[in-house]
Amino acid sequence: MKLSTTSSELLGQLQTASRVASTRSAVQALSGVQFQATADLVELRATDMEVGLRIPLAAEVEREGTAVLPARLLLDVARQLPSGSLTLELRPAEQDVEIICGPAKFHLRTLRTEDFPPLPEPGGDQIVHLPARAFTETIAKVARSASRDETRPILTGILVSASGTELRMVATDSYRLSVKETRLEVPVEAGFEANVPARALQELERIVASGAEAETIEIGVRANQVVFRAGDVVLSSRLIDGQFPNYRQLLPETYEHELNVAGDELVGVVRRISLMAQKNAPLRLSFTEGELTISAQTPDVGEASEPLPVPFTGEPFEIGFNPDFLRDGLESVESGDVVLKLISPLRPGLIEAGDGSGFLYLIMPIRLNV
């Protein structure tokens, strides 16, 4: 294998590919990035066996071939290379790859190519095309609610479903639940539902946001795998087995209080006051006639409070929330009014986008010790 490219091109694509390479696998090749050079295409490939990524590298191929190089080390090298063109050549006899960029010359030992697994081709039993922007915006709305607790793998995924003109994503870590329903302009060809690791979808979101030239995302769903194609980038992921919680059952049918609040203002107050809610201290929301006071107190650190006019009527009540979770929900609404729906201090509260954009954020309160 011998190819020519530029150091900036290599660095740009490596930064994406290396994020997917495994950092803790017993199989050394999985910590690497595979270069696959054919006459018409050079592809960088990386996988940790859960998520796989194939990303093109703009390069001229002098000699076809395949090589696996340690992802982290190669990325560190690429970051330090001078700008300009570079050549990358596999030297089978030396079991290394020679990188020459200007006066700099590196010889990097290769990892075992035969240990690097083949990555799936795009396509699948069901293929759906969805607008890339709508898809990634929906991911961004719900991803924060997915659990990072690997002991409950089902909750580390985002339940993605599409049918007719509706795309829906749901994520929950049992403390909060995000649901985003996005209306599609064109009905999908075939509906599907899959629990996709949040990590894979967040990676896809990053790839699309960082300039993968894709109007649409092609989604191929297989028995236990999903393959996304955005432009020339192919991202595959295993699907998470098991029954995702029935989120509809979790949404209360009625609420005691329903308040329209200016989202930006509320987020600002929550961000400020949260600074004084440290060491698991809750954010305290005290509702009185026409006013909401948000306060927080951390022993030995300090306290803060700020009132906010809200159209609240009825008996005063107080409810506590995890400050990060509340902020996540409010920030996910992004702009405009938010609708706060509350029942009682120990029942879940709902944050809804006031513009009817189909975003719901259900959040469980924290018990307040007076």
> In the bound complex, what is the minimum distance in angstroms from residue 367's beta carbon to other proteins?
6
> In the bound complex, what is the minimum distance in angstroms from residue 247's beta carbon to other proteins?
9
The structure tokens 């694509």 sit at: 13
Is the Cβ of residue 319 or residue 330 nearer to other proteins in the bound state? 319
Q: Could you say which DSSP state residue 220 is in?
A: E
Q: What is the Cα gyration radius of the chain? A: 25
How far from chain centre, in Å, is Cα 15? Answer: 16
Which residues have CB under 8 Å from 9's CB, separation 6+?
57, 58, 59
> In the bound complex, what is the minimum distance in angstroms from residue 351's beta carbon to other proteins?
14
User: Rounded to the nearest 5°, which phi and psi values hold at 208?
Assistant: -65, -45
CA dihedral 150, 201, 157, 11 (to 10 degrees): -10
Q: Could you say which DSSP state residue 301 is in?
A: T
Is the Cβ of residue 43 or residue 328 nearer to other proteins in the bound state? 328
> In the bound complex, what is the minimum distance in angstroms from residue 176's beta carbon to other proteins?
7
> In the bound complex, what is the minimum distance in angstroms from residue 361's beta carbon to other proteins?
12
The full DSSP string for 31-47 is: GEEEEEEETTEEEEEEE
> In the bound complex, what is the minimum distance in angstroms from residue 235's beta carbon to other proteins?
24
> In the bound complex, what is the minimum distance in angstroms from residue 153's beta carbon to other proteins?
9
Q: Residue 368: is it exposed, middle or buried by C-beta count within 10 angstroms (0-12/13-18/19+)?
A: middle
**How many Cβ atoms are within 10 Å of 138's Cβ, its own excluded?**
24
Is the Cβ of residue 184 or residue 364 nearer to other proteins in the bound state? 364
Is the Cβ of residue 127 or residue 368 nearer to other proteins in the bound state? 368
**How many Cβ atoms are within 10 Å of 29's Cβ, its own excluded?**
20
Q: Could you say which DSSP state residue 147 is in?
A: -
Is the Cβ of residue 144 or residue 176 nearer to other proteins in the bound state? 176
Is the Cβ of residue 175 or residue 264 nearer to other proteins in the bound state? 175
Query: What span, in angstroms and rounded, lies between the C-alpha atoms of 141 and 120?
Result: 28
The full DSSP string for 21-89 is: S-SS-SSGGGGEEEEEEETTEEEEEEE-SSEEEEEE---EEEE-EEEEEEHHHHHHHHHHSPSSEEEEE
Is the Cβ of residue 19 or residue 176 nearer to other proteins in the bound state? 176
List interacting residues with other proteins (CB under 8 A): 150-151, 172, 174-177, 245, 250, 346, 348, 362, 364-367
> In the bound complex, what is the minimum distance in angstroms from residue 365's beta carbon to other proteins?
6
> In the bound complex, what is the minimum distance in angstroms from residue 98's beta carbon to other proteins?
40
**How many Cβ atoms are within 10 Å of 245's Cβ, its own excluded?**
14
97 contacts 65 by C-beta, under 8 angstroms: no
Is the Cβ of residue 42 or residue 177 nearer to other proteins in the bound state? 177
Is the Cβ of residue 100 or residue 368 nearer to other proteins in the bound state? 368
